[in-house]
A and B are shown apart, each in its own frame.
Chain A
Amino acid sequence: MHRIRCPFCGARDETEFAYRGDATKRRPPDDADEDAFFDYVYRRANPKDWHVEWWHHTGGCRRLVKVVRHTVTHEVHWTGWPDQPPSLPDGAP
């Protein structure tokens, strides 16, 4: 089980969070075309590496948390708010 540090609530169990996928994707503007939305909705790098992800703290403050997590070791390097640039470990892509 993961423990994820919510910037507001502190370290909480994975069970309090809903995984919301790739946080490197930015939603295109409303008037963007089909291709832009196709990319946003479907194209995923699916790295076997460090990954920036959304975890929604639905069981706590109900805020989206940006998480830098390794998809193999599950190690969490950094967590922050949506408007913060993620901090990646040295050597991460």
Chain B
Amino acid sequence: MAITVRNGVACCLVLARRGFAEVTAERLELSLEPGRATIGAERCCLPIAPGEWLVLEQWRADGGLRMQLEGDAAGLAYVSDQSHGRQVIRVAGPAARDLLGRGCRLDLHPRKCRPGFCAATSIAEYACALVQVDAVPSFDLVVAAGYAESFWLWLTDHAAMFGYRAAIETVDRP
């Protein structure tokens, strides 16, 4: 199992205005289906509430994702840049489900949870947005930056009995 700190992921919250959720989704190619993320090569979009999406993308320039989304959704939705406020951690490997099950209250069984599965929930006491990115399975966990260090300790403590490799993946900020 590998646990990776993914630095250099831009993260924005898209908040559709009242009555504009569908058209925002269409314009930005976002999923309207709860629990189903759209995962592209660069961008991963998680519907986390009605009319609300968390958009993750490989870092380009500070504020770049926000400005692009704001431009695309002008008049339909507002965008809150959370790139500095969230930390993405990837847990990958056959034991990932068991590890997450130590704190995640959702059913992560393959019958219920396939690539693209996403949720806003908590792991142990940490609020977290979760998305399954592939069939390995790999999960991206998006947690508040202020809790990231504490959450990392929780994760690696519980991972100790499964055996794991920790890594840091950084895309330099331009």
Contact = CB atoms under 8 A, between A and B. Distances in A.
B121 A10 contact: no
B63 interface: no
Contacts of A16: 105, 121-122
A41 interface: no
Contacts of B105: 12-13, 15-16
Nearest to B52: A61
Contact of A59 (B34, B35, B122): B122
A29 B122 CA distance: 36
Contacts of A61: 48-50, 52, 120
- Interface range for B: 10 to 19
Nearest to B125: A15
Interface string A48-66: 0000000000011111000
Nearest to B105: A13
Contact of A10 (B35, B52, B122, B127): B35
B79 interface: no
A8 B122 contact: no
Contact of B127 (A8, A59, A63): A59
Residue among B48, B52, B119, B120 having the largest count of chain A Cβ atoms under 10 Å: B120
Interface string B91-121: 0000000000000011000000000000111
B49 A59 contact: no
18 contacts: A8-B34, A8-B49, A9-B35, A9-B119, A10-B34, A12-B106, A12-B121, A15-B105, A16-B122, A59-B121, A60-B49, A60-B119, A60-B120, A60-B121, A61-B48, A61-B49, A61-B120, A62-B49
